[in-house]
Amino acid sequence: MKQQTCALIPALNEGEGIARIVREVLPHVDRVIVVDDGSTDATASAAERAGAEVIRHAKNMGKGTAVRAGLRRVLDLGYEWVLLMDGDGQHDPRDVPRMLRAAQIDSPDMVIGRRVWGEVPARRARSITNRIGARILSRWTGQHILDSQSGFRLVRTRALEGIPLTSRRFEIETEMPIKMCRRGCRLEQVPMQSDGQGPGRPSHLRPFRDVARICLQALRFHYLSR
């Protein structure tokens, strides 16, 4: 399955850590594409030296735009699967094999890396927010989703063909599963070893704002994809 899979990593000012991520992901996939979304540091050169193909944006366009640019390249290359993960160290490359195994065993259209939340108060709060968002997303996809905003995903490229993704920023995390499920796609979820926050990274939790945002996004994408 390695030869059929391309990793896609959007990154912004991740010059210190992007090389490690690329090197640790490469053994599991055929190619790594990093979309440098307007970085002002050495993100692009560090990723290239580590073995990634780099797509550069002259200015910051947002995560959704970066993902869409990378997906166009992946589809042009003809890969069967695209592995989506963040460039900031939130997603542990050691979790990649279990996602690939889930795709082989159950043959879903998307495998979502589900975060396992710790007992740190800030993370408990994030867990509550995520569960509320997951219920909303489950309602609109018709599938039981446990992690509404995980960007760690393995997606069958054929399932994305003909789906008009339009998000410019983080709302792409909501748009993609809703529009895929409206087309009859099936999702699978696997627990990750990490909690999806990364070492030393502070939480930027805004519980009420985040839940409201997920609600509005889910409604918007649900009705636009009908």
Exposure string of 30-50, with b = 16+ CB inside 10 Å and e = fewer, is ebbbbbbbbbeebbbebbbeb
Can you tell me the mean pLDDT for 155-161? 96
Which residue has better confidence, 27 or 167? 27
Residues in CB range of 98: below 8 A, 6 or more apart: 190
C-alpha pair distances (Å), 176 with each of 1, 95, 199: 23, 21, 27
pLDDT digits (tens, 9 = 90+) for 66-93: 999 999 999 999 999 999 999 999 899 9
Let me know: does 222 contact 178? Beta carbons within 8 Å: yes
Question: Tell me, what's the pLDDT at 197?
Answer: 52
| pLDDT score recorded for residue 182 | 86
Strand 110-114, strand 153-156: pairing: antiparallel
Helix/strand/coil for 166:
coil
* pLDDT digits 0-9 by tens, 167-223: 888 888 888 988 898 899 999 999 987 655 554 444 444 555 655 666 676 666 556
Q: Which of 46-60, 98-112, 191-205 has the lowest mean pLDDT?
A: 191-205
Per-domain residue ranges of the chain: 115-150+158-185+193-226
What pLDDT sits at residue 223?
60
Which residues are 189's β-sheet partners? 112
Name the residue with higher pLDDT: 2 or 131: 2
Condensed to tens digits (0 to 9), the pLDDT of residues 112-127 reads: 998 775 544 445 555 6
β-pair partners for 81: 5, 156
pLDDT-derived band at 41 (thresholds 50, 70, 90) equals very high
216 vs 143, more confident: 143
> Quick one: average pLDDT of 37-63?
98
Reported as type and span, the H/E element at residue 140 is: helix 121-141
Question: And the tokens for 5?
Answer: 């899979």
- Give the integer Cα–Cα distance in Å for 26 and 141: 32
> What's the mean pLDDT when you consider all of the chain?
85
**How much is the pLDDT for 202?**
46
Enter the pTM of the model. 0.84
CA torsion, ordered 35, 187, 94, 23, to nearest 10 deg: -20
Strands (E), 75-167: 81-84, 110-114, 153-156
